[in-house]
Structure 1
């Protein structure tokens, strides 16, 4: 057994054995621990520190499938940011596969308490990689946000053994649904290994979303029991149907939490280096994430770990792109957020990642944490301004006609900064974090009592309305009003310029019973009830998704600027006047787009007409040519005016 100089981390298989490497500047000694199939520790082997602070060891004769972990010894002084405790078995930050999920236990945070029986063991695996095909996703497409377990647990066609796993996403019934509504990419909420927050087990709750990671590369055995091979197979089957796969990754914090949390990996290996601490107070963790810790993404080791993780998923599974949770942390240094900081720049410069879509959630709770519009191109960005403005428009708030038009046109006020010439917006009206779209029109306030925090958790202002009754109702009139509002919201989303995102089930009226922070509800509150989905809403979503694909104007990424590409009209058919734009409660808006029709392969005009009032509106349509309504049940009759029912969006094509 001897030291071998390979990369900065991980287990690398050679013909004669396995090379191990792990970085730590402050550890006094790191030992490699090998385990048998019975989970008993077989041996501890001291590793050799190099001048680069990489601790290395080559184990002769070791084979693929060996199980291992690390122990790090040194000073234990939490007030000084040092947490070395050799009783803690530590997961390799470069682990590619784990033998079991993480489960919370109080011993994981107790100094001197042995944890090898609690901590998952990393498995020595051989990288299987090749040159990936070009990314299938193009900006302007339709992204479908999926939490693997809730999405598949109640699907009647999926074999019970596959429910709750990535393999279920490739089931023919799931693919048929995705294709019916025109999905271009599914965005998988975290599937890498995570641990429950420590307050959940006493409440009998579990984290069902995965936004509490421990290992950045290793897939969670609960969701991906077949490891990378299973993920790769699922991606290939989706690719065969023209559907891209985007991974939602969390690099901003880990499940080790605050100083009262667990010691599982980075904390035990070198807490002082890997996490951010308050200036001059190394014992106090920065909490820009609201989770108790913040990963130091500007540290060279963490930067390389992030790049290597992204490459791992592209080369090993053909992943088309990534969405980054609380992404300002990726660009934050001691100087604050830096759009062209080293980590963000390295992500965009890597040759393997060059054509992958990168999507930022552009906010966190740290200083200068709201960075919408400030990420470097070609990053796409979640746009909560669109979410709030469109909700407020349909709720009936004053002065929302202009913001609606801005959202429809690509939000040039946000994305033209720094000489931007086109939108990078990911438009959405609901996401995993918050109300479902049905709950937006069914609840005026949050109802998170099931989370065990006396309804204190979750956002308080959600720009929602209940149509007259809070929550579920049997009143037919209220049910009809809610369905109308859902159809209007969906139509508005699909008519916006930029990429769009819909959370799984929102196309079909899924509810979470008013819970707007359902991360801890791994149960029927979040599980999609396929038997209860509204087929009328699904058909509506499929129709408007088809219109979005048919007419080029929607998916184009340049801003609508009024120079021949769009006219904004009032019901008179004339351009909107200044007075109309500034009328507080103006209830109608017409958007007339110059576009190409894929069905006829001709240039034409498409009118998208919005009516949020409680009564029918008639629009005079511009020009002398007749127009015809585009709707699933519409005749081909042409007219020079358009009837737009109450609380609806209508599409008319110039003949």
Structure 2
């Protein structure tokens, strides 16, 4: 027989070498039809009703369907938005488990299950067919030759240095990447980019979303796109726009080459919402398959969604089948694509229960016990827009978290704000006030100054205000509170004093980031003074604004690649910076983890911490093991030079200078123990003790 019952055991389209099993979850559907298309995705060849339903999984097996076959679903059921059901079999739907996508969404009113413009809004019903304008799922052969030598780097948590990048934006303007690879998965692992990452000393590249995505209609009408990719439609399929042919194999080839270079790959993943938006959004997949299961609906009125994300809806991970989909997706990227970890966007939404954020939620519990996912790196963006959404420090010990408290404190400090030395001391030593509980380690804090969302490092010291006019939203979008400074002039300038100050402040932030305990995250392009012309929300700018501008390469003062490399090498040299233990002060045996010192090199007392408008902070990180050396760090955010003494320690006769951000040549020198020195205005210094 051509059609048989098949199995419900594996969701999606699974080819076994002879035929393909199709399985789709829907608890509230009345009938599911599989639609097969021609190779161009334009003509529907036939519709086949899936013959079996097992535990709400509709399934069937076709013994003559092979890889390359394009397909979609039509799901029958009630159209009752007021009861949470939005079935409309006139709409072709994408398989949530699609491993590959063919074609791109072409916006048309036919994608909406209701009649657009109707006075009844989404309570009306639309009978138009949208199939020609829909992307199709593709049956795939998942086999891939990783090669005998493919080894995952397995970088220890404490040694991790993350580099956040966009697939297209990283290489689109990089002239030493072959033109056919620029802006693609292959460009990430081109020899030029691998050499660049090695020079920086980073260990892990974190990619902005690469899951199959949709460009919002409102952006397309403005001739813009959803550049960042936080508008997911397919949780298993690599986004096709970043490859020239087979995106799955192109992505895996890139991972293999990066692994061969000793570089890990992490993915920024968006499971908190989908591209279908709110109740007035299109019906592309989940909404038409089983709206009441896939989304969190308002209990008092299930026509509407509980929106914790600011994107119109929230994915319902309380439902076991929806949770299964997310877990299957995560495992797929680890097992089939060999990625090394994930950064979960708006992770608070994923961990919400009926009463808000829950550290023992189904999602966090499932992750904790999963034999595959418990061994990869997991990073949470620990907030969402719902009530009680800010949860920095609240995730289980398995997770690390983006620490926006580090970003805020260090931005304020180096922009000139005083009375922050207490806050800065905590942020530079792992933020124990946030993370030192439940067995968590300093690596729980992912420290960052800049990420994709916000100013670049160059713009942080070039603009007082955001300049998002190109987004077409009247400059209303993006954060207003950036803790930035233009150093005396808004935007680009030829003033040598302002230019020099901006460069020094950039070096200061990079130096602090790489000497702070916790995990450092560097934004791609910050090492070459990349600017977005003051745009702090370039989510829709797949163009010169959003791409990394590499013109700073080789330009004196703007090319900080060697400086970053110097700092990553310094970080690797001193295990106390990468410590997996929380710091202690002086111990009974005379050893110490950290000593906080006044400019006179005396132990700081309470009144010293409260010094009015204090901007000077100095401390010694003690050796972890016998035979290692201490490192003395000085941060001077004051606009004037400050005299200080080197620590006087009997076991160390001198202090060798390792860093002076005010000296672009990185001059070194030896200072006798207890001798006087001067910290230049707005500078970071570091010294190593020598016996």
TM band (smaller chain) = over 0.9
Offset of residue 482 of structure 1? 0.7
Deviation at 1:577, TM superposition (A): 2.4
Cα distance in structure 1, aligned partners of 2:68 and 2:605: 71
How do 1:90-239 residues align onto structure 2 when only pairs under 5 Å count?
90-110=93-113, 111-128=126-143, 136-140=154-158, 141-225=160-244, 226-239=246-259
Q: Deviations over 1:278-307 (max 9, x none)?
A: 122110011110011110012111111111
Distance across 2 between alignment mates of 1:38 and 1:390: 53
Q: Does 1:574 align with 2:602?
A: yes
Q: CA deviation at 1:8?
A: 5.0
Q: Deviations over 1:444-483 (max 9, x none)?
A: 1111111111111111111111111111112111111111
User: Could you list the runs of 5+ residues in structure 1 that have no partner in the other structure?
Assistant: none
Aligned 1:135-534 pairs, distance under 5 A = 136-140=154-158, 141-225=160-244, 226-418=246-438, 420=440, 422-533=442-553, 534=555
For residues 54 and 172 of structure 1, do their structure 2 counterparts lie closer, same or farther at Cα, with a shift above 3 Å needed? Answer: same
Structure 1 equivalent of residue 578 of structure 2: 555
Q: Give how far 1:172 is off.
A: 0.9
Asked if the contact 1:136–1:243 (Cα under 8 Å) also holds between the matched residues in 2, the reply is no
Deviates more, 1:638-647 or 1:42-51: 638-647
Report the counterpart of residue 120 of structure 2 in structure 1: none
**For residues 677 and 157 of structure 2, what CA distance do their matches in structure 1 show?**
32
Secondary structure of 2:339's aligned partner: coil
**Separation in structure 2 between the aligned mates of residue 16 and residue 628 of structure 1, nearest angstrom:** 69
Tell me, yes or no, if structure 1 residue 609 matches structure 2 residue 624: no
Once the 2 structures are TM-superposed, how far is the Cα of residue 14 of structure 1 from its aligned partner? 2.5
Question: Structure 1 length as normaliser, TM-score?
Answer: 0.96
How far does residue 501 in structure 1 lie from its aligned partner after superposition? 0.3
1:216 counterpart SS class: strand
Shift of 1:6: 3.4
CA distance in 2, matches of 1:293, 1:636: 59
**Corresponding position of 2:657:** 629
What do the CA deviations read for 1:483-524 (whole angstroms, capped 9, x no partner)?
Answer: 111111111111110111011011221111111111001110
Contact 2:382/2:401 (<8 A) preserved: yes
Task: Say whether residues 1:66 and 2:84 are aligned partners.
Answer: no
Q: How many residues in Structure 1 have an aligned counterpart in Structure 2?
A: 652
Matches of 1:46 and 1:8, distance apart in 2? 18
1:650 corresponds in structure 2 to 685
Residue of structure 2 in register with 1:55 after alignment: 58
The whole-number CA distance in structure 1 between the counterparts of 2:439 and 2:181 is 48
**For 2:217, what is the secondary structure of its paired residue?**
coil
What secondary structure sits across from 2:72 in the alignment?
A: strand
> Equivalences for 1:23-62 in 2 at 5 Å?
23-39=25-41, 40-62=43-65
The answer on whether the counterparts of 1:251 and 1:324 sit within 8 Å (CA) in structure 2 is yes
Instruction: State how far apart, in whole Å, the 2-side matches of 1:414 and 1:224 are.
Output: 41
Q: Which residue of 2 aligns with 1:5?
A: 7
- 8 Å contact from structure 1 (residues 410, 558) kept in 2: no
Q: 1:134 deviation in Å?
A: 5.3
Change (3 A) 1:104 1:548: farther
Shift of 1:100: 2.5
Displacement, 1:630?
A: 1.1
What is the Cα deviation at residue 571 of structure 1? 1.2
RMSD (CA atoms): 1.8
Q: Residue 74 of structure 2 aligns to a residue in which SS?
A: strand
Structure 1 distance, partners of 2:503, 2:152, is 39
How far apart are residue 211 of structure 1 and its match? 0.5
Offset from partner CA, 1:60-82 (integer Å, 9 cap, x none): 22112211110111111222221
Native 8 Å contact 1:95 1:122 kept in 2: yes
Contact 1:135 1:355 in 2 (8 A): no
Partners of 1:351 and 1:95 in 2: CA distance: 24
Which range moves more in the overlay, 531-540 or 322-331?
Answer: 531-540
| CA–CA distance in structure 1, aligned partners of residues 646 and 487 of structure 2 | 31
- 8 Å CA contact retained: 1:451, 1:520: yes
Aligned to 2:35, what secondary structure does the other structure show? strand
Deviation at 1:618, TM superposition (A): 2.6
Segments of 5+ residues of structure 2 without an aligned counterpart are 114-125, 587-591, 660-664
Range with greater deviation from structure 2 (218-227 or 188-197): 218-227
